[in-house]
Amino acid sequence: MSRVEGIGLRSPRGPVLLAMMLATAVVAVDTTVLATAVPSIVGELGGFESFPWLFSAYLLASAATVPVYSKLADTIGRKPLLVFGLAVFLAGSVLCAFAWDMTSLIAFRAVQGLGAGAIQPLSVTIIGDIYSIAERAKVQAYTSSVWAVSSVLGPTIGGIFAQLGAWRGIFFATVPLSIAAVVLVLLRYHERLTPRRHRIDFAGSALVTAGLALLILGLLEGGRAWAWISPTGIGVFAVAAVLLVAFALVERKAAEPVLPPALFRSRSFVSTMLVMLSVGAGLIGLTAFVPSYLQVGAGVLPIVAGAALATQSIGWPLASALSGRVYLRRGFAFTMTLGAALVLLGTAVLAIVAPFPSPWIVAPLCLVIGFGFGFVSVPGIVAVQSSVPWDERAVATGSLIFARSLGQAAGAAVLGAVANAVIFAHGGDETDPETFVAASGAVFLGAAAIALVLFIAVLTLPRDRRPGGGDDPDQAVAGT
């Protein structure tokens, strides 16, 4: 078989950036649009006990396939994999709209996840390919703003379709975005590639996908579908561990490993992986609990609770845009340390004031935390992208995105277990304001502990890295 090695791009950057923003919007809108329509979906299809799998199946399929897609993108190029991912996502969306029961809808959500597993890492990787280090923070802020807008539009669109009794329409919301992204990628994104022989690591791909799928499954369903300490719970994690150990052994001998072992000998890469794991865990602690905390604890309307949380989505892209100026002057490590300190400060104060639920308190704290995440995430990705060659950039970027997804799964499991334990200790009534405020306070304290881990992880980064402002050697971009 032939291998291709990227030696540059000849693409007008404006249309390519637009394509990447559209691709990001496909995933972002789908992630936020479904939650508000769940009652309508359950009302028509039934299967209330299974509806959490609408989210779990998607996350499982998307996260577990990221490493394989990323490696293939470094092998055969970004373009065919991104088009494939968008096409699979589009097919899954249409299938979801015609689902006949909860089981079929869950299966089609998994199809969407298989597409998202390619879209998320490759859109970020392509931006890293065509923009210089000095430009990437501002450009990544554009894609972060897509998530911010989607966090507002998604639930609104879902609520409108649910109110009209037409929940199936929410799955068509991403269809025009998917089609537009595919057209732009096909027409305006051009890779210049050099053919080379290669050997695909089929064994490693199968082992890492199966092992990660079981690991995420155990995190998502532990304490819900089965007890943590049970034959099923222990068995899932044990099999996942065996598969991942086997994967590590296979990778040591593979000619072209899915995850090159050399990456994990880099202190910067390993530290940034831990950072992204912490970001994912801390992020889910806020997004999953803040709205309910305000609705149940303070008695505010859902739109008010959502607006308080949305300040986080505003702070993130703003900080992402500003982070470029900071890391060009002071370095990646300084910028990420500043961000981690903001996250730690915001979550610690949130835990302290938890007994006094108020959107006027929560909103500015979420803004501070969003700024912190923006100063951590984008510089972390840019730092890793700038430290690896073209043919390892997708793998490195995908690994960071996977780490964040794994952190979200782990954070949801751990913080959810903490909340349930507190609710049970207070009598088991999650609708009681005092009980839910106590549970939320415990979750916010857990988020502060995760933020402390994030801060420590950032401190382990090399302190002497300061990027230059020029283009990377492998970039050759024409047009704007």
- Please list, in sequence order, all residues whose beta carbon lies within 8 angstroms of the beta carbon of residue 40, skipping any fewer than 6 positions away: 161, 162, 165, 167
pLDDT (tens digit per residue) in 107-126 = 999 999 999 999 988 998 89
Burial class (CB in 10 A: 0-12, 13-18, 19+), 464: exposed
User: Do 405 and 384 form a contact (C-beta atoms < 8 A)?
Assistant: no
The amino acid at 458: V
CA distance 213 to 171: 25
Question: 1: buried, middle or exposed (CB in 10 Å: 19+, 13-18, 0-12)?
Answer: exposed
Q: What pLDDT is recorded for position 224?
A: 73
3-state SS of 362-394? HHHHHHHHHHHHHHHHHHHHHHHHHCCCHHHHH
Closest to 250 (Cα-Cα) out of 280, 209, 222? 209
State both tokens at 448: 């502060």
CATH number corresponding to 262-467:
1.20.1250.20
Structure tokens at 77: 């190029």
Is domain 1-199 given the CATH code 3.50.50.60 in the classification? no
Note the pLDDT of residue 337: 95
Query: pTM score, two decimals?
Result: 0.81
How many angstroms from the chain centroid is the CA of residue 469? 28
Give the domain ranges of the chain: 1-199, 202-254, 262-467
Q: 210-261, pLDDT tens digit by residue?
A: 888 888 888 878 777 778 888 888 999 999 999 999 988 888 887 777 777 7
Please give the pLDDT value at position 465: 54
Is 451 within 8 Å of 348 (Cβ atoms)? yes
Positions of the chain with pLDDT lower than 50, given as ranges: 1-10, 468-480
- Domain pair 1-199 / 262-467, same fold: yes
The 10s digit of each residue's pLDDT in 382-440 is 888 888 887 788 888 888 888 888 888 888 888 888 888 888 888 877 778 888 889 88
Calpha distance 90→81 (Å, rounded) = 14
CA angle, 150 as apex, 133 and 345 as ends, to 5°? Answer: 65
Taking only Cα atoms into account, the Rg of the chain, rounded to an integer number of angstroms, comes to 22
Interatomic CA distance for residues 440 and 297, integer angstroms: 9
Q: How far apart (Å, rounded) are the C-alpha atoms in residues 65 and 82? A: 13
